[in-house]
Amino acid sequence: MKRRIIPFMTMKEVVLHNTENDCWVIINGRILDLTPLIEKYKGIEEHNLIKPIIAHAGKDISHWFNKNNNIIEFIHPITGVKVPYTPHGRIPDVGLQVPSTEWEALQTLPWWQDSKYVVGILTKNSRPIRIMNTLNGESALLHVCCEDNIKRILERYLPFNKHATSYTWKFEHKILDMDLTLDENGIKDERKLFLEIGLPDNFYIPCLMLYFNDDLTEA
């Protein structure tokens, strides 16, 4: 079986998915696409359970959970029983907070622990990078993940240049290793240093230079 590759993504990519028809959330660094879960509850009696999720579409809801990806609990002030803490309203796979004949144990993996919803991992650091096409002088400014290798950055650049694979990628006249990250290729993120010495963090943005290989793929 082919191993599933989960890409790193930036917060800017996550916030675009902020509707009930396209709903992503972040839980402890994991990015979940909950659109199928919302679709499952539409039009049924328990449809109110998905309202808190829809209200937080495109956002980080890690504060609903502990570090072990279990929902946070508290002691109920009336019953004295430990129950899930859902301040925005009850959500799918969370039981009732008070004794009830309708209570039943969950028989399946809760959605927040189900890997089928995971579509990405939130980057530890999103950084800007400029890409210059030396063939026509056009440039593009991208925000990429610090974990991205150059191949992944190439994929992000394809909407600007669909023939990006036909170029040699260089930085300061050095050919880049496409399997390594920017940092591993010696392209450091110096924004923190700039701020420390009183310069704006965008004072200098590294620029990758693309040199066309003339391999006839433009034909």
The answer to whether 71 and 65 are in contact (CB under 8 A) is yes
pLDDT digits 0-9 by tens, 153-202: 999 999 999 999 999 999 999 999 999 999 999 999 999 999 999 999 99
| pLDDT value of position 219 | 45
The answer to whether 180 and 150 are in contact (CB under 8 A) is yes
Provide CB contacts within 8 A for 43, sequence distance 6+.
Answer: none
Structural domains for the chain = 8-122 (3.10.120.10), 126-212 (3.10.20.90)
The answer to whether 38 and 51 are in contact (CB under 8 A) is no
| Degrees, nearest 5: CA angle 195-201-202 | 155
* SS3 state at 219: coil
The answer to whether 202 and 128 are in contact (CB under 8 A) is yes
pLDDT digits 0-9 by tens, 4-56: 778 999 999 999 999 999 999 999 999 999 999 999 998 887 889 999 999 99
